Chain A
Amino acid sequence: MSSLFQPHLVLQYLVSDAFFHAASITLLLSIASLAVGMAVGLLLAVAQEAPLRAVRALVVVYLWLFRGTPVLLQIVFAFNVLPSFGIVLPGFACGVLALGLNEGAYMAEIMRSGIRAVGPGQRLAARAVGLEDWGVLRWVVLPQALRIIIPPIGNQFISMLKLSALVSVIGVQELLLVADQTASGNFRYIETLSAAGIYYLALTTLFMAIQSLIERRLRRRRTPRGAPRIEATRMEEAR
Chain B
Amino acid sequence: MLRLVVTLALALLPSLGLAQKPELMNAGKLTWGSSITFPPFEYEDKGKPAGFDVDLADALANKMGLQPVLTPIEFKGLIPALLGKRIDIVISGMYINPQRLEVADFVPYLLVGNQIVVRPGNPKHIESVATLCGLRVASPVGTVFEASANQASASCKSQGKPDVTVLSLPGTTNCALALNQDRADAIIVSTGTLAALLHETPGGYAAGGAPFDTDTKLGIAVRKDDPGLKAALEKAMQAIVADGTYAGLIRKWNLPAASSAF
In the complex, which residues of chain A have a beta carbon less than 8 angstroms from the beta carbon of B170? 169
| Smallest CB separation, A70 vs chain B (Å) | 16
Check B99–A185 contact: CB distance below 8 A: yes
Check B183–A88 contact: CB distance below 8 A: yes
Check B99–A177 contact: CB distance below 8 A: no
Residue of B nearest to A184 (CB): B142
A residues in contact (CB < 8 Å) with B:
1, 80, 83, 88, 90-91, 169-171, 173, 177, 180-181, 183-187, 189
Residue of B nearest to A188 (CB): B103
11 sample A-B contacts, Cβ–Cβ < 8 Å, listed by A number: A1-B103, A80-B177, A83-B181, A88-B183, A90-B183, A169-B169, A173-B168, A184-B76, A184-B143, A187-B102, A187-B103
Check A177–B141 contact: CB distance below 8 A: yes
| Smallest CB separation, B54 vs chain A (Å) | 24
* Option from A1, A169, A181 in Cβ contact (under 8 Å) with B146: A181
Check A171–B168 contact: CB distance below 8 A: yes
* Option from A88, A169, A184, A185 in Cβ contact (under 8 Å) with B181: A88
Residue-wise, chain B 120-145 has the 8 Å CB interface mask toward A (1 for contact) of 00000000000000000010011100
Given contacts A91-B167, A177-B168, A181-B141, contact A187 B76 (CB under 8 A): no
Give Cα A170–Cα B141 distance, bound, in whole angstroms: 11
Given contacts A180-B76, A181-B141, contact A88 B182 (CB under 8 A): yes
Check A181–B167 contact: CB distance below 8 A: no
Contact-residue bracket for chain B? 20 to 34
Check B141–A180 contact: CB distance below 8 A: yes
Q: Does B117 contact A (CB under 8 A)?
A: no
Give Cα A103–Cα B31 distance, bound, in whole angstroms: 40
Check B103–A181 contact: CB distance below 8 A: no
Enumerate B67-107 residues with CB–CB distance to A below 8 Å.
76, 79-80, 83, 99, 102-103
Residue of B nearest to A76 (CB): B174
Give Cα A171–Cα B83 distance, bound, in whole angstroms: 26
Give Cα A189–Cα B77 distance, bound, in whole angstroms: 10
Give Cα A90–Cα B168 distance, bound, in whole angstroms: 13
Residue of A nearest to B167 (CB): A171
Check B169–A170 contact: CB distance below 8 A: yes
* Option from B80, B178, B183 in Cβ contact (under 8 Å) with A187: B80
Check B183–A181 contact: CB distance below 8 A: no
**Residue of B138, B141, B167, B168 ringed by the most chain A CB atoms within 10 A:** B168
Q: Does B147 contact A (CB under 8 A)?
A: yes
Check B83–A184 contact: CB distance below 8 A: no
Given contacts A91-B167, A181-B146, A185-B147, contact A171 B182 (CB under 8 A): no
Check B168–A186 contact: CB distance below 8 A: no
| Smallest CB separation, A9 vs chain B (Å) | 15
